[in-house]
């Protein structure tokens, strides 16, 4: 199904513009595959969370998480099936936890400190498909991810809405787990990929 849709779209693109070479087509194909998988996962997760009466919590967690993920990056599962299982399990279960748990301020501060240290140490964490080769960009993303983490932490301490507060803290926890080296090793993924690139050069 996926390949049929992507191939059909590529045929349409090539038919309307024959100036693309094989490299361009390969890049477009990769982008279309990413969009297809993202849309498929989104529809599935939204449907499941809707029937579990967790749609609001799931959407809120996803939006908040995207804010820190944008700068800290982190691993991607080695294939779409593992990605589907892990991301679905984590986000739907965490959405449920965010809706029922009441975490006292001391525990929130403790969780934030641990997550902030991890983000300072390991963000941004790249992937072998998208290595962060430029040193200035790595510094920029480290600063932005650190500032975002501080903003999330402070907001979670003072906001009165328990769900939003939990989603802010849990977003930092999820992101921290996605950037630590042990998570890469567990999925047999290379870490600090920009270093390998420089060695090849």
Q: What is the mean pLDDT of residues 53-57?
A: 98
Q: Which domain, by its residues, includes 29?
A: 1-51
Mean pLDDT of the chain: 89
Same domain flag for 106 and 193: yes
Residue 162, pLDDT > 80, answer: yes
Same domain flag for 77 and 36: no
Same domain flag for 27 and 76: no
Same domain flag for 46 and 58: no
- pTM (2 d.p.): 0.85
Number of structural domains in the chain: 2
pLDDT at 46: 95
Same domain flag for 62 and 15: no
Same domain flag for 30 and 94: no
pLDDT at 30: 67
Count of residues in the chain = 201
Residue 118, pLDDT > 90, answer: yes
Same domain flag for 40 and 63: no
Same domain flag for 45 and 57: no
pLDDT band at 128 (very low <50, low <70, confident <90, very high): confident
Structure tokens at 197: 């690139």
Same domain flag for 177 and 114: yes
Residue 73, pLDDT > 80, answer: yes
pLDDT at 3: 67
Q: What is the mean pLDDT of residues 32-43?
A: 81
Same domain flag for 42 and 71: no
pLDDT at 160: 96
Cβ burial of 134 (10 Å; 0-12, 13-18, 19+) is exposed
Q: Closest Cα partner for 170 from 76, 84, 101, 75? A: 101
Of 51, 69, 93, the position where a domain reaches its end is 51
Same domain flag for 3 and 67: no
Residue 181, pLDDT > 90, answer: yes
Same domain flag for 11 and 67: no
């Amino acid at each position: 199904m996926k390949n049929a849709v992507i191939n059909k779209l590529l045929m349409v693109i090539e038919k309307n513009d024959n100036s693309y070479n094989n490299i361009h087509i390969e890049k477009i194909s990769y982008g279309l595959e990413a969009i297809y998988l993202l849309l498929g996962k989104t529809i599935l997760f939204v449907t499941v969370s809707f029937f579990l009466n967790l749609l609001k919590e799931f959407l809120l967690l996803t939006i908040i998480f995207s804010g820190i993920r944008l700068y800290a990056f982190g691993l991607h599962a080695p294939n779409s099936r593992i990605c589907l299982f892990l991301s679905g399990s984590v986000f739907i279960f965490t959405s449920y936890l965010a809706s029922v748990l009441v975490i006292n301020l001391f525990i929130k501060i403790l969780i934030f400190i641990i997550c902030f240290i991890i983000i300072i140490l390991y963000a941004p964490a790249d992937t072998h498909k998208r290595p962060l080769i430029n040193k200035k960009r790595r510094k920029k993303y480290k600063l932005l991810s650190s500032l975002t983490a501080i903003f999330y932490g402070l907001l979670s301490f003072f906001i009165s809405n328990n769900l939003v507060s939990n989603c802010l803290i849990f977003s930092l926890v999820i992101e921290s787990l996605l950037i630590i080296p042990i998570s890469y090793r567990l999925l047999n993924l290379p870490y600090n990929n920009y270093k390998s690139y420089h060695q090849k050069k």
